[in-house]
Amino acid sequence: MVYRPEYGSRASTILLKYFAQWRETSRILREERPDVVFVMSPPVIAALPAFLYAWSRGKRVVIDAHTGAFLNRRWRHFLWLQRWLCRRAATTIVHNPHMASIVRDAGAHAVIVPDVPVIFEAPEAFARPASPMIAVVCSFNYDEPVAEILEGASLVPEVQFFVTGNAKHLSADLKARIPANVTLTGFLSTAAYGGLLASADAVMTLTKLDHTMMRGAYEAIYQDTPVIVSDWPILREFFNDGALHVDNSADQIAEAARSVAKAKSELREGARRLRDRKLAAFGEIRRTILERIGASAE
């Protein structure tokens, strides 16, 4: 993925940003001449240089379509383009059946990849407290129940919460309500993040939006760490072992934290079982994608 953060995402600079990313993507493709290009959407604009390259050289494109490509208000006006490109892709990777139905209804091929195995090669040891510990994977985005997480943490002072992400967008009101048992870690290096997930008794990642797959949750499961996730049907389906599901209320968040403290071993064993099932399922998914792009599974 080519990204030029120096241009920001302001209306006054967004076209310049896309132009610079388009030019850089085209240069890389001309120099490396891949047989298959995997491109992420949104932004759907990123797929255009990949398709131009593929059409000019008889190559293939695979679209990795995230939820925002179909549900984000910013990209709703470009759904016609997203659908048109999906029909011309070797396949479109989506993370749940709802998104797959949108792609297939457009006359395109879809492969559901709910998650990809995550291995942290050299995680840093995390200096965890003696008390029960929950890592909260958070971006402080509009779809996250941040206020409820903080309130829920305040109800279980015997549990320590370590909240990741850049809190610069956290309101002054919420900052003033951070309880003593909550630590804001800021953005962590990959090694430090891996160590945090592996050391925690559970990893919490919550969303107010249905049809959203929580990356932090499956990253945790691949470290054999139990998860606390929102009680949406898709998350119940994909995290059906080693997991606690909450309605995003402070009371249920607190109760889940207490449950983690009481049943650490049972929950971790469930996470191990789920990890093994996910690894087996990913092997089948990988074979399907390789068939679509005409590659060998060997």
Average pLDDT of 78-106? 94
Please give the pLDDT value at position 167: 84
Distance CA 28, CA 172 (A): 43
8 confidence band (pLDDT: 50, 70, 90): confident
Query: What is Dmax (Cα atoms) for the chain?
Result: 62
CA distance 264 to 266: 6
What are the pLDDT digits (tens) for 100-127? 999 999 999 999 998 889 999 889 999 9
Mean pLDDT score of the chain, rounded to an integer? Answer: 92
The DSSP output letter for 130 is S
Q: Residue 251 above 70 pLDDT?
A: yes
What are the helix (H) ranges across the chain?
14-32, 47-57, 68-71, 79-88, 97-105, 146-154, 172-176, 190-199, 215-221, 233-238, 250-262, 264-292
When pLDDT is cut at 50, 70 and 90, the band that residue 297 belongs to is low
User: Own/partner pairs for 224-227, CB < 8 Å, 24+ apart?
Assistant: 224/198, 224/268, 224/271, 224/272, 224/275, 225/197, 225/198, 225/200, 225/201, 225/268, 225/271, 226/201, 226/202, 226/260, 226/267, 226/268, 226/270, 226/271, 227/202, 227/203, 227/271
Structure tokens at 5: 């953060």
Identify the residue whose tokens are 């049809």: 211
| 64 close to 89: Cβ distance less than 8 angstroms | no
pLDDT class for 144, splitting at 50, 70, 90?
very high
Q: What are phi and psi of 100, to 5 degrees?
A: -60, -40
CA distance 47 to 62: 9
The rounded distance, in Å, linking the Cα atoms of 1 and 25 is: 8
Amino acid at 281: A
* pLDDT per position as a tens digit, 282-295: 999 999 999 999 88
How many CA atoms lie within 13 Å of 60's alpha carbon, on the beta-carbon side?
14
Report the candidate in 278, 272, 105 with the shortest Cα–Cα distance to residue 286: 278
- Amino acid identity for residue 252 in this structure: Q
Confidence tier at 151 by pLDDT (50, 70, 90) = very high
Does the structure show a pLDDT above 80 at 80? yes
* Residue 255 confidence (pLDDT) above 80: yes
Amino acid residing at 279:
L
**How far apart (Å, rounded) are the C-alpha atoms in residues 31 and 26?**
9
